[in-house]
Amino acid sequence: MNSNDLAILVPWVIAHGYLIFLIGATIEGPFMTIAAGVVAALGYFNLFIILFLAVLGDIGGDIFYFYIGYASHKLMRWPFLKHIGLNEKRIEKMRKLVHARMLSALVLVKFSPLIGPIGLITIGATRPKFKKFFWKALALSVPKSFFFVFLGYYSGQAYLQLNKLIADSKYIIMGLAVFVGLVYFAYVKIMGKVTEEIEE
């Protein structure tokens, strides 16, 4: 994520409201959620509604992809999946991980960049009990969503405070966007290392 992404998303979220935010959070959670946090800090959205919708969108997306895999477990045989790294060996590894340690499998999938939807479909295809999946996914969705909302919210609050002190606000926006980008980059790196350890 860079300053352009945030600069585009913030006015877009303001213009389209809560429903579009919920849809966006379901499809692409982190970027949209950070932007909504900024919007809440600027006073356009209610912070508590954003927190609720961020969790709802995140868990809603998880359930959607889980059921695609659950209802169509033959999808795992699609040749296309081999081109994106989902070979038989990895699928079998995921199957064993899901049934032995569901929480670890969900951490691997939910916090790894780019794995998300395919990983959740794979988890669904292994056909675990939905209740077991749901409560563990929700337990991860809440802190994940809160983290991104508050990252955006406090970045927006910092912008408002700095804007009172510094006349040229474009430098503040760029500085905050760089800060948010660095935090997100650090998040991706840390979670990448965590998921590598889980995979081993």
pLDDT digit string, tens, across residues 163-192: 555 555 555 566 666 666 677 667 666 655
Cα(73)–Cα(98) distance, integer angstroms = 14
Closest-CA residue to 155 (of 33, 17, 25): 33
Q: What sign does the CA torsion over 193, 186, 39, 17 have?
A: negative
Range of the domain at 12: 3-199
pLDDT digit string, tens, across residues 46-90: 999 999 999 999 999 999 989 888 887 665 566 666 655 555 666
How many structural domains comprise the chain?
A: 1
